[in-house]
């Protein structure tokens, strides 16, 4: 699957799970209640990194897209 298609999958998944999205070029920030997920996209829209926040505090960081998807599914 192309990187652009992966980003679209992440956007759809987050929307279906009730996350609100804010976009700033290569960064998607998803928020729901006190939780937040920030996804940084590199060249070609491949993931550069993702961060999980709880009440504004960084809880985890990853470069694995499947981990970011798990965060957005909960």
Segment 51-62, tens digit of pLDDT: 999 999 999 999
Burial class, 51, CB count within 10 angstroms (exposed 0-12 / middle 13-18 / buried 19+): middle
Q: What is the pLDDT of residue 3?
A: 57
Q: Please state which CATH number belongs to domain 3-73.
A: 3.30.310
pTM above 0.95, yes or no: no
CA distance 44 to 36: 24
Task: Give alpha helix (H) positions in the chain.
Answer: 3-16, 65-73
Q: How many CB atoms lie within 10 A of CB 37?
A: 23
Residue-range domain boundaries for the chain: 3-73
SS3 49: strand
């Amino acid at each position: 699957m192309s990187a652009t298609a992966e980003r679209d999958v992440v956007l759809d998944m987050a929307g279906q799970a009730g996350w609100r999205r804010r976009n700033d070029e290569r960064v998607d920030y998803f928020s729901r209640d006190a939780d937040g997920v920030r996804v940084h996209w590199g060249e070609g829209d491949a993931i550069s990194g993702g961060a999980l926040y709880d009440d504004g505090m960084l809880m985890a960081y990853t470069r694995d897209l499947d981990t970011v998807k798990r965060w957005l599914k909960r």
